[in-house]
Amino acid sequence: MLSGKTALVTGSTSGIGLGIALALAQNGARVMLNGFGDVEGALAQVRRHDPKAVHDGADMSRPEQIEAMVRRCEADLGACDILVNNAGIQHVAPIHEFPAERWDAIIAINLSSAFHSMRAALPGMHGRNWGRIINVASVHGLVASTNKSAYVAAKHGIVGLTKVAALENATTGVTVNAICPGWVLTPLVQKQVDARAAAQHIDNEAAKRELLAEKQPSLQFTTPEQLAALAVFLCSPAADNIRGAAINVDGGWVAQ
């Protein structure tokens, strides 16, 4: 379905981003990965579907590196047709104890990076009159939780940014939408499970059950594969007129 299209997925060496990159490659897109950690492992998985998949190590807190990555995607893959802004980090603490440096990093990586990548990629999308921008926000783009000031601010921000970008491009072939997952068991959330297990002297399974019970009525984690299938759908012609939406995949979290 996506053969002939190219995709840049930020933060795709792990978790949700890797799941989305895999699904886009399975559907025929040429893919550029981004992110830190197990780059070779992620590339090996994606290359089973897109043997020419590449990786760019841009730090998503650095605007000049983001722009250079988009330019490299256009030069090496021929275009940046699909842009998935997924890179993200978390820090959990009440505002009065929140390190200012963590605030700045979360706003830069979880919010400002999407502005910089869209700014760089949109002119090329306009030139081809086709583009798909998918911003991985969160239920925390729609509702708040304690101890996540920077994350909730960044995710509410990216939902707003998604709407502006969708409106600015509403008469073009470029659509812009946000996906808002609830709990997904990735390394980012495992850290929060570990913290809960340590604080309450409970085991990993009990900590996961408690985490889900607090917020996610289905008591099931959303999977990267489910989010990836939604991303593929958003790239399909059936989604041509889905614009500026924030689609929650959250087991009922924000229905409460």
Question: Binding residues for ligand NAD, per CB under 6 A?
Answer: 11-17, 34-37, 59-61, 86-89, 109-110, 136, 138, 181, 183-184, 186-189
Question: What are the backbone dihedrals phi and psi of residue 79, each rounded to the nearest 5 degrees, phi first?
Answer: -175, 170
Report in angstroms how near the CB of residue 123 gets to ligand NAD at its nearest: 23
Question: 107 or 189, CB closer to ligand NAD?
Answer: 189
Here the tokens at position 139 are 């239920």
Report in angstroms how near the CB of residue 143 gets to ligand NAD at its nearest: 12
Question: 138 or 162, CB closer to ligand NAD?
Answer: 138
Catalytic residue check, 99: no
Question: Which residue is catalytic, options 114, 151, 182, 235?
Answer: 151
Report in angstroms how near the CB of residue 17 gets to ligand NAD at its nearest: 5
Question: 202 or 249, CB closer to ligand NAD?
Answer: 249
Residues belonging to the active site: 151
